[in-house]
Every structure is written in C-alpha cells, then in structure tokens.
Amino acid sequence: MHNLKTCFCGITFPTPLILASGIVHTPAAFMALASQKGVGGITWKSISLKPRAGHPLPVVTPYSAGFINSVGLKNPGVKQAVKEIREVKKHIKIPLLASIVAFQMSEFPQLATEIAKAAPDLIELNLSCPNVDDEIGRPFSTDPLLSALAVQEVKRVVKHIPVIAKLTPNVVDIKEIAKAVENAGADAISAINTVGPGLLIDAKTRKAKLGNKIGGISGPSIKPLALRCVWDIAKTVKIPILGMGGVNNGEDALEMMMAGATLVGIGSAVFGKGFGIFDQINQQMLDLMKIYEIASFASIKLSIK
C-alpha cells in the first residue's frame, strides 16, 4: 500500500488532496468536510479586511463542461473569520489554509497580520479572482510586479506561516508571474484560479445565467489549461505547487502531479460528487499506481515525456 502522506512547505498532509477555496463557506461545513476520509487539508473561503455581501444570485451554475461562478468574494470580513477559523481548528486534525484577498495593495499587511492571529497552517494569497474587475480592476497576478509586491507585503508581517501565491491562468506568460512571486519570497504557488470570466445565456429568456452576468469557469473544461500552467510553473520555480483545475478523479490527480504539483486541489468536483470525492480519488490513485507501476507520488513529479 502506498503512503498518501505528503509534505508541503514543511507541513505533513495526510493525503495530497486539498479542498480548494470557495467551495465550502460555513464553519459547520468545513468541520463536516474535514472529518471525511481522504481529505488532506481544507482551504477557507477568501477573506477580505471588511465584510462583503457578494454578487446577486444565482452565483454558481453548472453547464455541460463544468461550472461558472461569480460569488463576488462574499465573506464576513477578517475579524469574524478569525473567530470562525479558531473554532474550526479546535475540531479538525488536518491542515487549514486561510485564503486572503485584498482590494488595494495597502490592505495586505493588516489583513495578513489579522489572519495570522487565527494561526492557519498556511496562508493562500488570492491574487487571481476574475469576478471583481469592476470593483478592483484586473487581478494582481496579471502583473509580475504587483504579484511580487503583494507577496512582499505579506511576508514582511508574517514570518512563521508559509505563504502561497494563487495565480490566474489569464496571462500571456504564467512563468513570468511564478518567477516574480518566488523571487519575492513566496513559499509555494497554487494554480490555477478559475478561467475567464465567461458568460452563459439562457436562450429562452435571453438572460445571463449568473446574477453578475459573467463569472469564472471551472471544472473538466479547464483541466488542459491547468495542467499546462502547472507544468510551466514547475519548470520555472523551485518552490512547491498546489495544482488545481478540473481534477475529477484519480487519473486527473496523478496527471496534475506529473505536471509538477505536490498537492492537488479539488474544487468543482465537490459540487458535482459530494464530500466522498476525496476518498474516491485517493482510492483511484492507489489503484492506478499499481497498474501504471508508479512507486510514489514524488517519482512522477514533473515526469512528462
């Protein structure tokens, strides 16, 4: 039997499968998910300095090749989130990643200082939400200098918690952004956030299917893009990668590792298949490792021929 334990930024995860940010929202749901077999870690919904009401409903809708969402970074603000994370951490045994999102560069130090009070195991910087351009302009991670600055601002105030930069695929050269955040001191990279934004239309009513009209695309349709981005990043940087985008089964997860990921994020598949998806994917990976004669996760990392 292969060992699923995975070390990432010096932290041991019981399995390499991590809940991606934005899928689960309430403390009760985080605790329920964290107690499920096979979950390696959980990522909190992105937290901003102030509470945000988010976008009008509907905020997520499925389509034939995945999902489109525009939640609009709905969250209770960092003060409340710190209380919730502290409470959840008392009840779970797996690492917790806190995702933070800033609307101006100057918010990062305060936000990072506040969230560190909840003692998350890692902090993920959401530099890549495609759904709030109207409010904050293009995501920081479309620009190497802004991406680097965001990492530096957080690393300046948070010394003892590893910092992960979450990147957007919506750039000409993701390698350039990856190198910039690594040079700025990021401990890891997560990739990719959702793609787009895209638009879905109800032909009968001629209405956009999302309340915000446009939103980020996720699910099986983005897997090839996610794999290519993770592969590009892995060839460029030495820091580890949390790879995500369209992972639905064990084969997808192994492919993500072959592209260069150490941990694998599971997002839309949870909507489609429920909390049992983590155990299923782990079992599928273990079965496939026997069939494909894969000795360990480490042995397939960045192994594309």
Phi-psi region of 100 (alpha: psi -120 to 50; beta: other; left: phi over 0): beta
What is the rounded CA–CA span in Å between residue 295 and residue 188? 25
Residues 80-109 that bind ligand SIN (CB under 6 A): none
Give catalytic status of residue 129 as yes or no.
yes
By the 8 A CB rule, do 66 and 246 touch?
yes
Amino acid letter for position 298: A
Span 192-211, contacts to ligand SIN by CB under 6 A: 193-194
One of 16, 22, 169, 196 touching ligand SIN (CB under 6 A) = 22
Residue type, 92: I
What is the arrangement of strands in the sheet containing 214-218, beginning at the earlier edge strand? 60-63, 66-69, 214-218, 195-199
Shortest Å, Cβ 21 to ligand SIN = 7
Residue 248, interface with ligand SIN (CB under 6 A)? no
Q: Which stretch binds ligand SIN (CB under 6 A): 68-76, 103-111, 250-258, 282-290?
A: 68-76
Q: How far apart are CA 47 and CA 81, in angstroms?
A: 7
One character per residue 158-197, x = contact with ligand SIN (rule: CB under 6 A): -----------------------------------xx---
Say how far apart CA 302 and CA 4 lie, in whole Å.
Answer: 18
CA 304 to chain centre: 23
C-alpha–C-alpha distance, residues 66 and 52, integer Å: 26
Q: Which of 41, 72, 144, 196 binds ligand SIN (CB under 6 A)?
A: 72
Q: Exactly one of 6, 15, 43, 46 binds ligand SIN (CB under 6 A); which one?
A: 46
Q: Stretches 66-74, 84-92, 230-238, 280-288: which one binds ligand SIN (CB under 6 A)? A: 66-74
- Hey, which residues are catalytic here? 129
- Binding site residues, ligand SIN, CB under 6 A: 22, 46, 69-73, 126, 129, 131, 193-194, 216
